[in-house]
Each structure stands twice: as C-alpha cells, then as structure tokens.
Structure 1
Amino acid sequence: MADTNYDVIIIGSGPGGYVTAIRASQLGLKTAIVEREHLGGICLNWGCIPTKALLRSAEILDHANHAKSFGLKLEGKMTADVKDVVARSRGVSARLNGGIGYLMKKNKIDVIWGEAKLKSPGEITVGKSSKPAVQPQHPVPKGVKGEGTYTAKHIIVATGARPRALPGIEPDGKLIWTYFEAMKPDFMPKSLVVMGSGAIGIEFASFYRSMGVDVTVVEVMTQVMPVEDPEISAIARKALEKRGLKILTEAKVSKVEKGSNSITAHVETKDGKVQKIEADRLISAVGVVGNIENLGLEDLGVKTDRGCVVIDGYGKTNVPGLYAIGDVAGPPMLAHKAEHEGVICIEKIAGVEGVHPMDKGKIPGCTYCNPQVASVGLTEAKAKEQGREVRVGRYSFNANGKAIALGEDNGMIKTIFDKKTGELLGAHMVGAEVTELIQGFVVAMNLETTEEELMHTIFPHPTLSEMMKESVLDAYGRVLNA
C-alpha cells in the first residue's frame, strides 16, 4: 500500500532520529519515524534537557545560600522542595516533547507508534511496544500510525543507548539507581554513592551535593572525568571537593550489600584494601550500551562491535540500504554527534554534493557540574603522544574582570597549538559557563584557524570570552592581563 511505503524510515526519535527525519523531509524524501516510547528519546526526556533543569535549580540554590557574599540578605536558609524541583524538570521535558510532535507534523513526517523489527533489507514490521506507550505527560500524538509492515529504500537505525549494568551491581530501581531514578527521586537521600565520574555521574553528584546530600564518587581511573585533560580534571576535582564531595579515584565498587532502605558499598582501592561506605542509595553511572537487541540485526547479518553497529563515515552498515547513527553507532555518545551524523547520513543518501565524513576530533564535550567543564580536540598528553611539538596557553578565571564580578573566579582555559604550524589542536576549560564558550574554539578549529587569526580577533569586554584570547596569547608569550 502506498501509505506504508517510504523513501526513508528512521527507527528512533531521539535527537539523531528526529533531526535526520526533518533533514530528509527538507530534501524531498517521503519520511517516517518509528518510536516505541516517547518523542525526543532519552536526551530530551531523561537526559540532556531534564538534567539541566535540575542543575539550574541546584545552581540557584547555591547562589541563594551564598547571597551574603553578593551583599544580599535572605531570611533563613534557602531549602529545596524535591517534589517541585522534579516537577519543574519534567515540565521542561514535556514542553519540548510536544515541540517534537509539532516539528513532525510541520515537516509532514509520519510517526509510526510501536516497536520496529527489521524483516528484510528495506522492510520492517512494527509491533506493540514492550515499553509503556508514553509517559503520562506525553500523550500519543493524534493521527500517528501503528502496528503493521512498512517498506523503505533506506532504513536508518537510531535506537540510542541505555545505562550499562555491572554484574552483581545491577540497578533495581529502589536502592541502586540509574539516571532514570536519579532524575525523579520521590525523596532526597541523606547520603549517596555515585559509581563512575563521567559526565552523567559527576553531574548527578554535583546536583545532589547542592541539595545537601553527602555524596561519595568512586572512579576506577586515575582522575575524575577521565576523558578530560588531566590539568582541567584536577582543577575541577579540587573545586568539587571544596563543595564537600568525597572523591575516590583508582577505586572500584566490588560489591553492594542491600539493606531494607540503604546500601553498603564495598570499595576496593588500588592497594587492595576495602573500604565499606554506607549510604541511602547508589547511582550506577558506568557508561551506556547501544540498543541493538530485538531489532533483527543478527538475522540480516549486520556487523556489530562491542555493543554498537559498525558503520562507515556516512552511516552505512555492511547491509545495503541499512544505516545507523548516534549512540547505537558508537562513541562519542553525545546528542550533538548524533544530530550531525544523521544529517551527514541523509545528505549522502540524497546525493547532496560536498558531504564529507564527520571529524570526531572536532566534537565538543560538555559536563554541566559546578564548576562546568568543556573541551574539544586533543589534550596536551594526546598531542604529545602523536609526536606533536606543542605550545600550551593557560589563563585563569581569577584574572578576568567579568568572572570576578560574577563571583565565579575559579577556573582555567587551556589551549594547545602545533608549534610548527600554529594549528589549534585542542581547547579545554573549567569554570562558569564554559559550556557556552567552547563553541568559539570549535568554530575556529572547523575553519582551520591558526593562532594568528585568533590573536587578531576582537573579543568584547567585559566578558568571560576574553579569557579565550588571553589563553591563546599566553601560548605565544604575549598574554596581556596576567
């Protein structure tokens, strides 16, 4: 039937899926998107957006409790109502979820509600979802299609990822949480162990600490936020510990004993000693794994590796007509990577001229803890490992007028250049609003900017962005305000 045949079907409506669908429609392709649970996927409903709403509440609470340092007086201590904090976060998510439905309708993209399975190349069956249809605040859009068989010349898998579970420490939804439970607690625990200090773990650790919770972070690597430049990580750790977080690195949770309403984490350190930490709850934040199961990938012989679909630079799998993008296609597992990967994939399918594979070395990473951390490109150590001779610039927040005026003078911006060519190899930041600053260096790297262009760029005063230029100047012995 004509209404079940498409040019493109996308399985999954997270950031990668829905953006790809919109671009496909813009390119004149008849497009459908299959969703089993809620439009917007994990990022919009349970990840990127609602966590930032929680962190905003935490930020305001932190500021209120330090009002005196700004010359302000508040009667009594500001406290948080966990129910209202969570309700605001869910409301933000619901508002954006409705916006995705509007975008699908606006771009004439059919929404097929249910669980997709690949039947053969170019054909899927959609059955009843094994997940709850949608969250209560996310009503099923009117006019969507449902169970049946659908065909398309091109099928794109964009099914995302889910929390990784360690054997013996599997989340149970009550005592051992993933980000799902951590995002909507029905009470505020007095104590918490966070297992893993990547972006998810450290953001929740930061949030709960602001809420007054006694938080211990356990990280198996030598530093918190292991992917970050060690110098930046060290500054972030010091600031987090100053706020009262307890951080154990080169340590792992080897066992969790469950009580009636608490846990005891057995934490093994590098010297083999075991420390027992009692807490109300444990958050498991040890990474995510791709959603590759129950899609029929094995039956079609689709190549996978370490829980992700193997693709080329344009999203193609080893099966003609089948593609994958986003988290399910491997790291870095970031929403903005998924979106850009999807656009590259669909433009290649449509024959757009000039499409080239994504340069993963130019994908920024952001962690929204307090203080924020952001980076792009090579760390100093990685650049040296590649045999590069480098120039390194550093500039501290405590020398910037805007940072001092904001009361946010703890942080640093670090830039790394190729000594011979002046190429900007990497930029790494810790401090207030650095997640908003990093894009300046991302643009510079995409334009193949050298130190000369950056030095001749005029940054507005007084802004935090001035530190970006000062860091560049410092790499060449020309810093002005330090």
Structure 2
Amino acid sequence: MSKTDFDILVIGGGPGGYVAALRAAQLGLSVGVVEAQHLGGICLNWGCIPTKALLRASEINHLLHDLDTYGFKADAVSFDFTKIVGRSRAVSKQLASGVAHLLKKAKVPVFNGYGKLDGIGPEGKRKVKLSQKDSAETTLTARHVILATGARARVLPGLEPDGKFVWSYREALVPDELPKRLLVIGSGAIGTEFASFYRNMGSDVTLVEVAPRVLPVEDEEISALAQKSFEKQGMKVFTSAKLGPLSKNATDVTVTVEAGGKTHNITVDRVISAVGIVGNVENLGLENTKITVDRTHIVTDALCRTGEAGVYAIGDVAGAPWLAHKASHEAVMCVEAIAGKTVHPIDATKIPGCTYCRPQVASVGYTEARAKEAGYKVRVGKFPLIANGKALAMGETEGLVKTVFDAQTGELLGAHMIGAEVTEMIQGYVIARSGELTEAELTETIFPHPTISESMHEAVLAAYSGALHF
C-alpha cells in the first residue's frame, strides 16, 4: 500500500483515535491518523491531564494552610500562580509529545489537517479528503474509517466565552491571574473540579446548578455529602437554580440567580461556563452518507459501527459517557472487531466515573435509586471514612463508601465513594462488576491494613453481616 492508502484511517488523535491507531499497528494493519490540532486531544491538552496538575497544586496549597493540624508551622506561605499554570502546561506538553513518539515508534503516519468523508473510491475503499494548512487538498483512502473527532464545550446564549469575563475550560486552564471572585455554572465533573481548584487557591467561589443537586449523575447521598463539603470549604452553592441575564461591567460581571425562592445578584470577576459538551460532527462529510446524528452525536451500534458501511465512530463524538477511558476501550474493541477478533460490547454500567474535586468522588454501576427503578430489590451497605484508621491517620476523615447489591443474587450492582483517593480505589469495584462478583467473593477478599481501601470491604459487610468497625 502507498502512504495514502490504509487498512484503517482514523480521523482524530485523542484518547480514542491514537489508541485505535496503536492497536491497529499492533495487529499488523496499515493505519494513518488525521489530526487537526494536537495529538492527545482535549484530554491530554485541555482536559483530564492539565486539570489534575492544577488540582494537585491546589491540594498542596490547602495542606500548606492546614499545617498546624499535623504539628507544623510555616510563616508567609505564598505561591507563584504563573508557575502553577506553567507546570500544568508542561505536563500536558510532555504527554502529548509522548503520544507522538508512540505513533512514530509504531510507524503510524500522522497527517496534520482536517479529514472529510468523500465517497467511495476504487475497490470499494472509503475516500477521505485531507485539507492541510498551506497545502493543496489531497485524498487518502482506506477500507475502514474511524471517526474520533471528540467534542467541545457547549455554549449557551448569553454565556459565550469572550476570553476575558466569561471562560470555557480552555480559558480557565490558563488564567493570567487568580480571580478573587468566581462564578462556576454547572456542577458536573468539569464544574466541580474548577470550583475546587480555584476555591483551594483562595478564590471566593459560587457554584450554580440548574438540577436539584450538585454532581447530578452521582448517587443522591454522595451528592449531598459533596455539597456539604463544598459549603464547609466556603463555597456558595445554589441548586435548582435559574440564571438571569449576565451584565458585564468595566472590571467585573453581575449575574442574576434565582434559587430557593430568592433572587440573588452576584458580582464576580470571572464566570466559568461548564454546561456540557457537543460533538464535533461538522465538516466530516456526513451529509452524503447514511450516518445518523442525534443531538450532535453520531449514532452507532454496540460495536461502534455507523449506518454507513466501513465507517465507525468512537469516543465523545459517539455520545455518553464522555470519558477518555471509555473512548480508549471503544478504540481497542472497534479495531479488534475490524480485525476479525471476538469482542464484547461495552456495558455502560461497568464504566467507572471519577471526579477529582476535593473530596474526590468515584462510582461505578447503578445508584441506589436507579437499581430500584430497574426493578431490583437491593441491599445497601455504607461505611464512613471517619471510622477508617488510615483515613484518620492521614487527616482525611471526610467521606463515605456505599455499595448496592442485588438482594436476590448478591451481585454487586453499584458502588459509590466520596473521600481521599477514592478515584484510585474504585477500580476494585470495577473489577467486581466486570467479573460479576457477589458479596460472597468480596467478603472473602482480604484487604491490606492499614489502608483506606479497607472501607470498601466494610461497606460490603455492612450490606450483609454488618460492618465490623462501625
């Protein structure tokens, strides 16, 4: 094959796209990647990774102002905000460079530009029109095309990012200075993580959510504990809120918020809009295909196939859940299916969700309410971190582990956690969900002591024979 003809051509180089290319290369398939902006996609460059670098800095700042709890004392603690932001960008750059190295090592060519479906060519291969800056359009061909173009921030009328007063996640990641007063609209993972970062760096933060509770996709009990913690940290939180007009002043912004039967005029230095995402489906040539788009997302079957033969879609552009690890898993599954391997469709109830606010939140499977709605009779176990020795020793006693079991079979239906490092621990429950384990296997599992993970065992015992340490 020529350098413009492939078994698989991937449009988009994010966590879905580049992983698809690497797996295809491992399987001996010829593969190319078309990427318009930056390898690693939003996740590595403007999402998952740089936010975690910022959040790490804010955790350190929080600890430095809580030293007396641990017997330490430091005077005139300060930080260089420019260096904090700079470190975040450096971490992203390093990982993006690593992706480029991996693709080069796998001998996967990367075309810097935009790809657009352009009908069928010789031998029934898909044609993709490649547009590159300062170059004439060229045509690439492939037997299979994987669309992995991701998504971008949803923009609401009146809340358009202006680069100054109203920020999307991009502006929020690279601020010139720390705002004294900040309004965050939307309390999903993106909104709460930015709210946590700026609050722990010292900003006066107001968090607004139109749903009845913060982190609305999480278990209600976990959401309530998260809001209680946010407010304890000094955040102002409004739920079931209605936003009024936004008025930009010379140096700040005033927003009207209706909540709890009252009207609040809130004046802040900056506003972060974190109200969801929309799929990047424009200019892909979809209009001349049998591909269906539903609410900005490409419709696929369980194996990522679209309505157009030979065209697939993975990751955020293919719909919820909008998670990098879901995109990567879809990438491997899609490529292996193309290669003729036996694959298993993804079960969304076995995909973990993690939010890196303070305290962290992690979950997998059914919430208690959803399990009951699905017709299950449930057994629920709970264990508070204040009763865990390691959490107490660390000074991280705020949190809860909650398990939901099928009362008839003992199968673990869901697990929900809030507290220190729960994003690292949730994988234990994910393995249990994937392996269809019951309370019997989990009860017999030996957890190391002293660890916060012991609370996971206790939450299982709490649903049946009873927790031993609470």
Quick one: which of 122, 125, 129 aligns to 2:129?
A: 125
Range with bigger deviation, 58-67 or 252-261: 252-261
C-alpha contact (below 8 Å) 1:114/1:146 kept by paired residues: no
Unpaired runs of at least 5, structure 1: 134-144
Q: Note the 1:213-362 alignment, pairs <5 A.
A: 213-269=203-259, 271=261, 273-353=262-342, 355-362=343-350
Determine the structure 2 residue equivalent to 1:38: 38
What letter is aligned with 2:108?
Answer: I
Counterpart of 2:440 in structure 1 is: 452
Q: Bigger CA drift: 260-269 or 276-285? A: 260-269
- State how far apart, in whole Å, the 2-side matches of 1:310 and 1:408 are: 43
- Indicate the residue corresponding to 2:87 in structure 1: 88
Post-superposition offset of 1:147: 5.0
Partner of 1:56: 56
**1:299 shift after superposition:** 2.2
Q: What stretches of structure 1 move > 3 A for 4+ residues in a row?
A: none
Q: 1:396 aligns with which of 372, 378, 384?
A: 384
Q: 1:425 is matched with which residue: 409, 413, 429?
A: 413
Q: Does residue 73 in structure 1 map to residue 73 in structure 2?
A: yes
Question: How far apart, in 1, do the equivalents of 2:355 and 2:91 lie?
Answer: 20
Question: Which SS does the other structure have where 2:206 is aligned?
Answer: strand
Is the 1:366–1:373 contact (alpha carbons within 8 Å) kept by the matching residues of 2? yes
Provide the rounded CA distance (Å) in 1 between the counterparts of 2:10 and 2:79. Answer: 41
One-letter amino acid of the counterpart of residue 196, structure 1: G
Q: Which residue of 2 aligns with 1:373?
A: 361
**In 2, are the aligned partners of 1:392 and 1:415 still within 8 Å (CA)?**
yes
Q: Superposition RMSD on alpha carbons, in Å?
A: 1.3
Q: Secondary structure at the match of 2:29?
A: coil
- Hey, what's the Cα distance between the residues in 1 that align with 2:217 and 2:115? 34
Three-state SS of the structure 1 residue aligned to 2:159 is: coil
Amino acid at match of 2:276: G
Matches of 1:221 and 1:186 in 2, distance apart?
A: 31
Percent of residue pairs identical:
57
- The answer as to 2:148 corresponding to 1:158 is yes
1:240 offset after TM fit, Å? 1.0
The correspondence of residues 9-20 of structure 1 with structure 2, limited to 5 A, is 9-20=9-20
- Please give the TM-score of this superposition, normalised by the length of structure 1: 0.95
Q: Which residue of 1 aligns with 2:173?
A: 183
How far off is 1:270 after superposition?
6.0
Aligned length: 465
For residues 146 and 462 of structure 1, the distance between their equivalents in structure 2, rounded to whole angstroms, comes to 63
User: 1:25 matched to which residue of 2?
Assistant: 25
- The alignment partner of 1:469 has SS state of helix
Distance 2:462 2:153 in 1: 41
Q: Following the alignment from structure 1 to structure 2, what is the Cα–Cα distance between the partners of residues 249 and 261?
A: 27
> Contact (CA 8 Å) 1:114, 1:147: kept in 2 or not?
no
**Is the Cα–Cα contact under 8 Å of residues 375 and 428 in structure 1 kept in the other structure?**
yes
Three-state SS of the structure 2 residue aligned to 1:2 is coil
Q: Deviations over 1:367-389 (max 9, x none)?
A: 00000000000000001111211
Task: Name the SS for the 1:124 alignment partner.
Answer: strand
- Amino acid across the alignment from 2:104: K
The answer to whether structure 1 residue 480 and structure 2 residue 462 are counterparts is no
One-letter amino acid of the counterpart of residue 373, structure 2: E
Q: Corresponding residue for 2:123?
A: none
Provide closer, same or farther for how the CA distance between residues 455 and 177 of structure 1 changes in structure 2, counting only shifts above 3 A: same
Once the two structures are overlaid, the 10-residue window that deviates more, 253-262 or 417-426, is: 253-262
SS in structure 1 at match of 2:55: helix
Task: For 1:448 and 1:50, locate their aligned partners in 2 and report how far apart those are by CA, in whole Å.
Answer: 35
Secondary structure of 1:15's aligned partner: coil
Q: Which residue number in structure 1 is paired with residue 6 of structure 2?
A: 6
Distance 1:255 1:301 in 2: 41
What residue ranges of structure 2 are gaps of 5+ in the alignment? 121-125
C-alpha deviation, 1:148, in angstroms: 1.8
The residue identity in structure 1 corresponding to 2:319 is G
> What do the CA deviations read for 1:242-270 (whole angstroms, capped 9, x no partner)?
11111000003232111122111111236
Note if contact 1:40-1:100 (Cα within 8 Å) is conserved in structure 2.
yes
DSSP-derived class of the 2:446 partner: coil
